[in-house]
Structure 1
Amino acid sequence: MNAAFDAAAIRARAEAAITVALEVGRETARFRRESDPRTLAVQSKGLQDFVTTADRMAEQAIRQGLISRFPDDTFMGEESGGQSEGAGTWVVDPIDGTTNYIRGLRYWGVSIAFVVGDKVEIGVIYDAAEDKVFHAVRGGGAFKDGLQIHAATTADPASALIILGHSRKTSFDEYLALSKRLHERGMDYRRMGAAAIDLVRVAEGAADLCYERHLNAWDMLAGALIAEEAGATVAMPPVGRLLAGGGPVVAHTPGLADEFAFILESAGLMVAS
């Protein structure tokens, strides 16, 4: 760990991030419940890539909540941008699953990661579906509302539940081929639309694999740490590369490592050490 951040400094940041994620998540959910969807001021950033008034308000609230406590930290948000500079950086997606949020599907979350050097040291995710917060500090296990969670022990592919994501930046034919291969092995699969929540579903044992060929850093870093700390096998590019341009992520239950080895190979990934 960077000398500037001892265990107490990391713990203080984790506690702050948990508080901020819960407050902002609940306020964002309330805003959606009480708003006419026509007033969300939806704008398109690209094909099926939207931003709303709620995204901007949530990111500003997260920034204020964290940087007011830790003014020397830097901040990188999906909506406001920023770069990873200095000793430690907050990497934030204020609403992961914006399309779901717009349409009233409660499969979205608030994702907050804290990066020191080339390591994610803190991951915090507010899960709107359950109104709960998942969190992990590197080396300390993974938790859901303070109760420790663990990846599933599934070893039979016919019992596996898979969550796949798809980005329009990648080949749809590849996505279809992967879906077909998993289906032929007897696995059931879903596409849910919020990678941060997909990753914590693996962390808590509700799913056995989460894979997406391309994500931005703010979509995956918090969830990847939580899944890893829950005992899942996690593979993704180096953090610096993700911060610069995104990339793939795989998280799966260890008992199915042989089944999913081809995914890591096709994505050019190695298991995190």
Structure 2
Amino acid sequence: MNPAFDAAAIRERAEVAVTAALEAGREAARFRRDSNPGTLTVENKGLQDFVTIADRNAEQALRDGLLSRFPGDMFMGEESGGRSGEGGTWVVDPIDGTTNYIRGFRHWAVSIAFVAAGKVEIGVVYDATEDKVFHAVRGGGAFKDGIPVHAAATADPANALVILGHSRKTSFDDHLALSRRLHERGMDYRRMGAAAIDLVRVAEGAADLYYERHLNAWDMLAGALIAEEAGAVVAMPPVDRLLAQGGPVIAYSPGLAGEFAFILDIEGL
């Protein structure tokens, strides 16, 4: 851990982040519920990437809430940008799964990670589906509304449920080939469109694998720590590289390690 952040400093930040995620998530849900369809002004920012009024409002609230308490920290958000620093950096996606959010499909999240010295020290994810908050502090386990969660003990691939993400920045043919391979091993699979939620589904044992070949750091860092602290096997590139250019992530139940090792080989992880 960065010497500037002892256990008490990390714990304090985690508590503030949990409250901030809950407040931002509930406000975004209220805004979506109360808005007329026409008020959700959508600007096309590129493939699979949309921004709404709610996105901007949520990110500003998170920025203000976190930095008012910890003014020396840096902030990197999906909408407003920012950069990481030598101290600690908040890496935030105000609404992960924006397209789901716009359409009223409640598989979306607020994702908050705190990074120090190249490691994710805190992960917080607001789950809009259940109006609950997952969180983890490195070395302290993973929790859902304060109750410990654990990765599944699945060992038989025929009983496995996997979640696959897909970015248009990567090959769809490769995605289809992977889907076919998992199908042939008897696994059922989904594509849900919100990485932070998909990762916490692995953390709580509802799914046995989440894999996507390219994500931005704010999509994955919080959920990846929560999954790791819940006992899942998690692999991704170094955090500094992810902050700069994004990359792949895989999280899976340890009893199925032999089934998913080939994915690690594909990514060189």
Match of 2:257 in 1: 257
Distance of 2:154 and 2:261 partners within structure 1 = 16
SS at match of 1:95: strand
The 5 A counterparts of 1:10-89 are 10-89=10-89
Distance in structure 2 (CA, Å) of the matches to 1:37 and 1:156: 45
The equivalent of 2:119 in structure 1 is 119
Aligned equivalents of 1:70 and 1:106: distance in 2? 31
Spell out the pairing of 1:106-255 with structure 2 (5 A cutoff): 106-255=106-255
- TM-score w.r.t. length of structure 2: 0.99
**3-state DSSP of counterpart to 1:46:** coil
Report the alpha carbon displacement of residue 154 of structure 1 after superposing the two structures with TM. Answer: 0.1
Distance 1:26 1:49 in 2: 22
> Could you list the runs of 5+ residues in structure 1 that have no partner in the other structure?
none
C-alpha separation in 1, matches of 2:178 and 2:86: 40
Q: Which moved more, 1:39-48 or 1:230-239?
A: 39-48
1:160 Cα deviation (Å)?
0.1
Aligned position for 1:94: 94
In structure 1, give the amino acid aligned to 2:217.
A
Amino acid at match of 1:263: I
Would you say the 8 A contact 1:124–1:222 is kept in 2? yes
1:73, 1:86 within 8 Å by CA — same for their partners in 2?
no
Superposition misfits of 4+ residues, deviation over 4 angstroms: none
- The alignment's TM-score, normalised by the length of structure 1, stands at 0.98
User: 2 CA distance for matches of 1:224 and 1:244?
Assistant: 17
Q: CA RMSD in A?
A: 0.5
TM-fit CA distance, 1:48: 2.3
Deviations for 1:210-251, whole angstroms, at most 9, x for unmatched residues?
Answer: 000000000000000000000000000000000000000000
Letter in 2 for 1:154: T
- Identity among equivalent pairs (%): 81
Q: What SS is found at the alignment partner of 1:224?
A: helix
Question: What letter matches 1:232 in structure 2?
Answer: A
Give structure 2 stretches of 5+ with no counterpart.
Answer: none
- What number of residue pairs does the alignment pair up? 269
